[in-house]
């Protein structure tokens, strides 16, 4: 069964800021790794894409999201 990743809400002062100066949302951050992850999961299944999933999670962490 698929496991879900929880993304914690962070105080407004620690939310990553995008290039447009607005706070980033986890759904819109790291579009490159998100697209690669989503295509892999769609084509091969979640269990075969763990490296892509981990890379996307790390990208989110690098931006300051607590996942």
Q: Is 28 annotated as a binding residue?
A: yes
33, 56 Cβ separation under 8 angstroms: yes
Beta bridge partners of 46: none
Q: Is 49 annotated as a binding residue?
A: no
31, 1 Cβ separation under 8 angstroms: no
Annotated binding site: 27-28
Annotated binding site for Cu cation: 27-28
């Amino acid at each position: 069964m698929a496991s879900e990743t929880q993304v914690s809400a962070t105080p407004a002062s620690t939310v990553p800021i995008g290039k447009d100066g607005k706070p980033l949302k986890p759904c819109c951050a790291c579009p490159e790794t998100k697209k690669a992850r989503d295509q892999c999961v769609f084509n091969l299944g979640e269990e075969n894409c763990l490296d892509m999933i981990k890379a996307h999670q790390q990208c989110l962490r690098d931006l300051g999201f607590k996942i």
